[in-house]
Amino acid sequence: MAKIKVTKVKSAINRTKRQKLTLLALGLKKVGQTIEHEDTPNILGMIRKVNHLVSVEEAK
pTM (two decimals): 0.93
Residues 29, 47: Cα–Cα separation, whole Å: 14
Q: Is the pLDDT of residue 22 over 90?
A: yes
Q: What is the pLDDT of residues 27-48, one digit of tens each?
A: 999 999 999 999 999 999 999 9
Please tell me the total number of residues recorded for the chain in this structure: 60
Query: What DSSP designation does 40 have?
Result: -
Domains and CATH numbers, the chain: 3-51 (3.30.1390.20)
pLDDT value of residue 60: 84
Q: What is the mean pLDDT of the chain?
A: 97
